[in-house]
A and B are shown apart, each in its own frame.
Chain A
Amino acid sequence: AQTVTQSQPEMSVQEAETVTLSCTYDTSENNYYLFWYKQPPSRQMILVIRQEAYKQQNATENRFSVNFQKAAKSFSLKISDSQLGDTAMYFCAFMKEGGYGNKLVFGAGTILRVKS
């Protein structure tokens, strides 16, 4: 079974600064997908970024980028130029490729607070 660990329950960052959220996972699979979801106070789950394990290049989406280290099973999220609207709970998630039902396995989440 896969597990996802987010070791930082809470983090804070000043507006316009950069912050990195950590995620590690455990799996025996070689092909899989990793995701970061954002959950603002509205409770809506929003996909921030995804990474295919077969790709060596780290995914980027505007101010969001990941550092994917497959051998170390690490998948951190870097938010540059933090904005007040980035305040949210962030979840790291794992999906096995070709798994029955495309099930997501989530970490416990990291609360990020952006301060003005």
Chain B
Amino acid sequence: NAGVTQTPKFRVLKTGQSMTLLCAQDMNHEYMYWYRQDPGMGLRLIHYSVGEGTTAKGEVPDGYNVSRLKKQNFLLGLESAAPSQTSVYFCASSPRAAQSWHMNTEAFFGQGTRLTVV
């Protein structure tokens, strides 16, 4: 009954370092997302994927890259971390919409990753 699992839960990086956040879902969802949460700004979409091998930019994509090589995994990469990327990062997944008002539109979220860049 795992749902959406994010790794790691916490991380401290030095400016300029790189890292990858891993998201795994076991619900066979087509859609996956990466959001960042900052005080006073809610959650903002970084990148998303509508299926294996596809990715698309969200609202705040700069400084991040993503990959979806397997349907169940969605990776978020920071090539050269900056203090402005200090945030809480959430991964989410949702099923693909079939028919408009019969679809289950609920997104399921991981528990978040608190990243601090010093």
Contact = CB atoms under 8 A, between A and B. Distances in A.
A102 B111 contact: no
B109 to A, nearest CB: 4
Interface string A13-27: 000000000000000
Interface residues of B, number: 28
A97 B43 contact: no
A50 B49 CA distance: 23
Contacts of B90: 45
A59 interface: no
30 contacts: A31-B100, A43-B88, A43-B111, A43-B112, A44-B109, A44-B112, A47-B106, A50-B105, A54-B101, A97-B97, A97-B100, A97-B101, A100-B50, A100-B56, A101-B33, A101-B49, A101-B56, A102-B94, A102-B97, A102-B107, A103-B33, A103-B45, A103-B48, A104-B33, A104-B92, A105-B45, A106-B35, A108-B40, A108-B42, A109-B42
Given A98-B97, A102-B31, A102-B96, 5 more contacts: A52-B101, A103-B33, A103-B58, A106-B35, A108-B42
Interface of B: 31, 33, 35, 40-45, 48-50, 56, 58, 88, 90, 92, 94, 96-97, 100-101, 105-107, 109, 111-112
